[in-house]
């Protein structure tokens, strides 16, 4: 079962500049999400819960855990995988 991406309302910055857009990405246990560069462009990424396995184009793998902060833009990621038994929750923040 593929879990949805939820767009949230824009958050205005405290100084009146450009607002930020937040998203929540959930990946169900045992599921994978293909990496689409546009989904992660200009995003600060925080793993809120669970563990996500980043599979790279080279075949290498890297595990990210709750609390890890990532920048995925420009990386050769093929897909994001949840190898665990609980959903992975990832929060992204980007400039609007």
Percentage above 70 pLDDT, the chain: 81
What gap in Å lies between CA 1 and CA 12, rounded to an integer?
Answer: 34
Q: What DSSP character marks residue 95? A: E
pLDDT tens sequence across 10-57: 656 566 666 888 999 999 999 999 999 999 999 999 999 999 999 999
Q: Which CATH number does 5-95 carry?
A: 2.60.120.10
Contact 55, 84 (CB under 8 A): no
**pTM of the shown model:** 0.79
Domain spans, the chain: 5-95
């Amino acid at each position: 079962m593929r879990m949805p991406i939820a767009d949230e309302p824009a958050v205005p910055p405290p100084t009146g500049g450009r607002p930020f857009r937040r998203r929540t990405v959930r990946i169900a246990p045992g599921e994978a999400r293909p990496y689409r560069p546009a989904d992660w462009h200009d995003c600060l990424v925080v793993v809120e819960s669970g563990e996500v396995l980043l599979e790279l184009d080279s075949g290498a793998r890297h595990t990210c855990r709750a609390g890890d902060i990532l920048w995925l833009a420009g990386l050769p990621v093929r897909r994001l995988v949840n190898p665990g038994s609980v959903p992975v929750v990832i929060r992204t923040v980007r400039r609007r």
